[in-house]
Amino acid sequence: MTFLNAGSTSVVAILIHAAIPLTIILVYALVAIWGERKIAGFIQDRLGPMRVGGFHGWAQSIADLLKLLQKEDIIPTNASRFLFKFAPFMMFAASYAAFAVIPFSSSYVGSSVNIGVFYLVAVTSILTLSIIMAGWASNNKWSLLGGMRSAAQMVSYEVPTIATILTVIVVTGSLNLMTVTEMQTGNDILGFLPNWFIFQNPFLLVAFGIFFISILAESHRVPFDLPESESELVAGYQTEYSGIRWAMFMLAEYADMLLLSLVGVTLFFGGWNSPFGEFMAGPGWGYFWFLLKGLMLVFVMMWIRWTLPRYRVDQLMQICWSVLIPLSFVNLVLVAVWEVIFN
Amino acid sequence: MKTAEEIRNKIDTAFPEAKPELKQGDIGDPWLLLPAGQIREIAKFLRDDEELRFNVLMCLSGVHYEKEEELGVAYHLHSTEKSHKISLKVRVPESEPNVPSVESIWKTADWHEREAFDMVGVQFLDHPNHKRILCPDDWEGHPLRKDYVQQEFYQGIPTGYEE
Amino acid sequence: MKTTIQDTGQSDKREMVINMGPQHPSTHGVLRLELTLDGEVIKKVKPNIGYLHRCFEKYAEEVGDYAKVIPYTDRMDYVSAMNQEHGYVLAIEKMLDTEVPDYVEYVRVIAAELQRIASHLLGIGAFGLDLGAFTPFLYLFTEREKILDIFEKMSGARLLYNYMAVGGLMRNVHDDFEKDVAEFVKTFRPKIKELNDLLSYNRIFIRRTADIGVLPPKVALNYSASGPVLRGSGVKWDLRKNDPYSIYDRFDFDIPIGSGEMGTKGDCWDRYIVRVREMEQSLRIIEQALEGLPEKVDVTKSIEKRVRPKEGELYFRSETPRGELGYYIISDKKGSPYRVKARAPSFVHLSMLPSISKGALIADLVAIVGSIDIVLGEVDR
């Protein structure tokens, strides 16, 4: 299976490389939506889906998907038709394109570029654009408000995200995510702890905290989900979308959540490395550990959603600009100092 | 804490031309019948006087007296400081149902007076937003009048039930 | 077709006029708010009501019997039906000057206080839901279900009971009544603490509600605010203590008021915490009522057969979970009232909305409307 290695140029190989993250995203989205409803149910002292498919309603997402596929396609009369249709696809395309540089295991990464992090950050910025597009093209004041709010939010929170990513890059010296993961192999800290960056440097722990809050804001999760807050703006920028177009937005949102969690895992939690050193390690196990850690972060994001109320838009901005950004830059400097002193 | 009789006497002293009458049915609360033209001044006096201090207007209702062909407005006041209550009433003829608005004295009268206008048809002078509140703006008639007949069509839609 | 939306005639292109409602997830019913926005800041709010007007007052005149009006009083504020009935029935009994057996009074008070707790649970839950806290809503509804189960055993219905009658009650209570209520009181107290841990002192919740929608006490009194809205502004006024009716003067309970604990006195947080603390006080009243419950009598025997008060008029007010509910009844010696006016607390509180939401953001407006706790059934009747 050498032709599946990164760097191979045969067309079939390229298509297979591209299809692997797509399959993972699609399967994950179905499982995650079901999972979110079950987790929400258990946190709220109720059961969630129970009937569709038998055991705890596991086929609920499939049923919902089939329902959405056969719905009537409603486009508001005065909406900008092309932009209206294009926005959800662009959003999904942006999330999906960013998966190209994420190493799923030691033998698979979609595209092993030396500017992986740079590419990642650039592509996820397109998400902001697609939300504004959706809000504007809907010809609806509420959607416009939602689009405006979310644009402000995403653009602001990209700064602490990038700053915390940079703290890890300062330690590794490379923008290539595969190299970042390879540097976290081994179990040398305190004799038994894995070499993950989150254990290597106390300021990286702080950096992870800031990173996690920022990705909650980037992927529009509570407590920062004002752009689509159900109780205030009906559904924000998604108000006028129905059927499969709305399903694309949902898909893109979940893909975004997974993407950012996986980036966090790659940077801070050792990527595809096993926590037990040599035990249960290897190219095949790499997939398992990577997705497991990513899904755990996604679980924490869902847990927070059903526990906390949401912030108001100006409070959200204030948190970003007065707290997170200064903190992340100070942290960056401190990480650099630590590295110079101890390494 | 003052009784209704004492309050009547105070109003009589301050507004001798008002000639307030203290009335009472066989059961229930007594009320003071006042002339419509002076109700705003009397209301201000009731709110600001040191011994009375009626700072809350609990309720303002419109009533249709069909037999006498008059419209009435009933005010129920109470004072949180002095713990006394009083009911006032104003009666105006159906042909000229003008009552000065007390919205400038108790802000709560705003919506209550709009409802009295909507339901019974009393016209409140100097009201900041004299429009219907419960019925649509272009509804005809005043529903709580005793001789009210519902309009058959509203903007082309039949309003009644099929018999 | 003629349109009834007015042309605002504004030429200022910066301001946007937007409609919140009548269908909106967080306006607690069919309420239309016309907002004039400058970006996110609200310049003007104009509430538009009447979408749920069901002509209660006209029905009360036409239906032909004082007692037949009682089911209609249920449906005004459908969330706290027992309190509506309680006020109306007490008003009629005062007009007739009848003696009601003590047992009936005690059961009525227990029902009214249980309904107060149920109504606050819904108000607090919906308030949290508007702000994005999905979970406390469901936890509180579990408790509300227990109260509704007790009501179902008592009266046969879960939400609109038609339970109180002039002079008595429509049905005798079930055998397990005292046991059920005592058990509910026992299990509910720790839930209030759970609610406080989960929502009341949560930093995000406080940031969303403190210093928002401040209502100064003088303005509150001028607008005739009552209930938790008035008490949240620091005015210690509760009709059960200041103008006691029924047997409330036999019970010992406190009146919680807002004191600006987390922000300014009279903000949304104060109104919210007054409701939470009131639930605790209602539990105290229920416990005392259960202890002092007199011997059981047949409550249906004391219902007045002929309700025909003499000529006169009466304004009777009672304390519902939302505030002061006033019934102004004019009687003219006939079997049906000449005029019934129901002064609903939510109607009065909603008229305050433009003045306390000056300069707020849309998110704040949602918090303010939620903290005032309106029910559109009451507003429109």
Instruction: Give C63-109 as a DSSP string.
Output: SS-SGGGHHHHHTTSTTSHHHHHHHHHHHHHHHHT----HHHHHHHH
Cβ–Cβ below 8 Å for C204 and A225: no
Cβ–Cβ below 8 Å for A40 and C134: yes
Tell me the mean pLDDT in the region C9-21. Answer: 69
- Whether residue C380 contacts residue B136, with contact meaning beta carbons closer than 8 Å, is answered with no
Q: Residue A283: pLDDT above 80?
A: no
pLDDT in tens, C188-235: 989 888 888 888 888 888 888 888 889 899 899 999 999 999 999 988
% of chain C with per-residue pLDDT over 70: 95
User: Taken in order C298, C299, C300, C302, is the CA torsion positive or negative?
Assistant: positive
Amino acid at C351: S
Q: Residue A231: pLDDT above 50?
A: no
Mean pLDDT across chain C, nearest whole number? 87
Q: What are phi and psi of A171, to 5 degrees?
A: -75, -40
Coil, helix or strand at residue A223: coil
Q: What confidence score (pLDDT) does residue B27 get?
A: 84
Structural domain includes residue A158? yes
Structural domain includes residue A57? no
- ipTM for this model: 0.91
Q: Residue A277's domain spans which residues?
A: 78-342
% of chain C with per-residue pLDDT over 90: 30
pLDDT in tens, C35-66: 888 877 888 888 889 888 988 888 888 888 88
Chain C residues inside the 8 Å CB shell of B138: 2, 4
Structural domain includes residue A270? yes
- Whether residue A269 contacts residue A200, with contact meaning beta carbons closer than 8 Å, is answered with no
d(CA C253, CA C248) in angstroms, rounded, equals 10
Q: What confidence score (pLDDT) does residue A77 get?
A: 85
Q: Does C53 touch chain B if contact means CB atoms closer than 8 Å?
A: yes
Q: What confidence score (pLDDT) does residue A5 get?
A: 55
Mean pLDDT across chain B, nearest whole number? 87
pLDDT in tens, C164-195: 988 889 888 888 888 999 999 999 989 888 88
Tell me the mean pLDDT in the region A295-317. Answer: 86
d(CA A291, CA A258) in angstroms, rounded, equals 9
Coil, helix or strand at residue A128: helix
Residue ranges of chain B with per-residue pLDDT less than 50: none
pLDDT in tens, A245-255: 888 888 888 89
- Among A13-27, A103-117, C216-230, C316-330, where is mean pLDDT lowest? A103-117
Structural domain includes residue A6? no
% of chain A with per-residue pLDDT over 70: 92
- Residue matched to tokens 């993972």: A24
Tell me the mean pLDDT in the region C104-132. Answer: 90
Q: Residue C117: pLDDT above 90?
A: yes
d(CA C348, CA C325) in angstroms, rounded, equals 10
The total of other beta-carbon atoms located within 10 Å of residue A72's CB is 6
Asked, as a colleague might, if the bond just before B97 is cis with ω within 30 of 0, I would say: no
Cβ–Cβ below 8 Å for A312 and C25: no
Q: What confidence score (pLDDT) does residue C3 get?
A: 39
What beta strand segments (E) does A96-205 contain?
103-105, 108-109
CA distance between the termini of chain B: 56
Cβ–Cβ below 8 Å for A231 and C132: yes
What beta strand segments (E) does chain C contain?
16-20, 32-38, 41-48, 164-165, 168-169, 312-320, 323-331, 339-343
Asked, as a colleague might, if the bond just before C22 is cis with ω within 30 of 0, I would say: yes
Tell me the mean pLDDT in the region A234-242. Answer: 73
- What's the total number of domains in chain A? 1
Tell me the mean pLDDT in the region C264-271. Answer: 89
d(CA B138, CA B140) in angstroms, rounded, equals 6
Q: Does A8 touch chain C if contact means CB atoms closer than 8 Å?
A: no
Residue A117: which pLDDT band, with cuts at 50, 70 and 90?
confident
Q: What confidence score (pLDDT) does residue B69 get?
A: 87
Q: Does A31 touch chain C if contact means CB atoms closer than 8 Å?
A: no
Query: Bridge-partner residues for A193, per DSSP?
Result: A189
Q: Does A307 touch chain C if contact means CB atoms closer than 8 Å?
A: yes
- Whether residue C96 contacts residue C309, with contact meaning beta carbons closer than 8 Å, is answered with yes
DSSP secondary structure code for residue A193 in this structure: B
% of chain A with per-residue pLDDT over 90: 6
Residue C343: which pLDDT band, with cuts at 50, 70 and 90?
very high
Name the minimum distance, in Å, from the CA of A273 to any CA of chain C.
36
- For residue B148, CA distances in Å to A69, B97, B144, C31 come to 54, 17, 7, 27
How many Cα atoms sit within 13 Å of C106 on the Cβ side? 22
Q: What is the pTM of this model?
A: 0.85
Query: Bridge-partner residues for A68, per DSSP?
Result: none
pLDDT in tens, A141-193: 777 877 787 888 888 888 999 999 888 888 888 888 888 888 887 777 666 67
Where is pLDDT greater, at C237 or A312?
A: C237
Coil, helix or strand at residue C19: strand
Structural domain includes residue A82? yes
- Give partners of A (≥3 CB pairs < 8 A): C
Structural domain includes residue A287? yes
Side by side, the strands of the sheet bearing C312-320 are B27-28, C312-320, C323-331, C339-343
pLDDT in tens, A41-78: 888 888 888 888 777 888 888 888 899 889 888 888 88
Cβ–Cβ below 8 Å for A232 and C142: no
The total of other beta-carbon atoms located within 10 Å of residue A183's CB is 19
Q: What are phi and psi of C201, to 5 degrees?
A: -105, 20
Which chain B residue shows the shortest CA-CA distance from C329?
B28
Q: Does C159 touch chain A if contact means CB atoms closer than 8 Å?
A: no
Cβ–Cβ below 8 Å for B29 and C4: no
- Whether residue C316 contacts residue C6, with contact meaning beta carbons closer than 8 Å, is answered with no
Residues 6+ apart with CB under 8 A from A249: A88, A91, A134, A238, A241
Residue C5: which pLDDT band, with cuts at 50, 70 and 90?
very low
Q: Regarding beta strands C339-343 and B70-78, do their DSSP bridges make them parallel or antiparallel, or are they unpaired?
A: unpaired
Q: Residue A313: pLDDT above 80?
A: no
Q: What are phi and psi of A254, to 5 degrees?
A: -70, -35
Name the minimum distance, in Å, from the CA of C31 to any CA of chain A.
14
The total of other beta-carbon atoms located within 10 Å of residue C97's CB is 9
Name the minimum distance, in Å, from the CA of C256 to any CA of chain B.
17
Which chain C residue shows the shortest CA-CA distance from A227?
C363
Q: What confidence score (pLDDT) does residue C109 get?
A: 92
Coil, helix or strand at residue A294: helix
d(CA B78, CA B88) in angstroms, rounded, equals 11
Q: Residue A33: pLDDT above 80?
A: yes
Tell me the mean pLDDT in the region A320-336. Answer: 90
Structural domain includes residue A62? no
d(CA C23, CA A129) in angstroms, rounded, equals 30
Q: What confidence score (pLDDT) does residue C27 get?
A: 58
Structural domain includes residue A21? no
Q: What confidence score (pLDDT) does residue C284 get?
A: 92
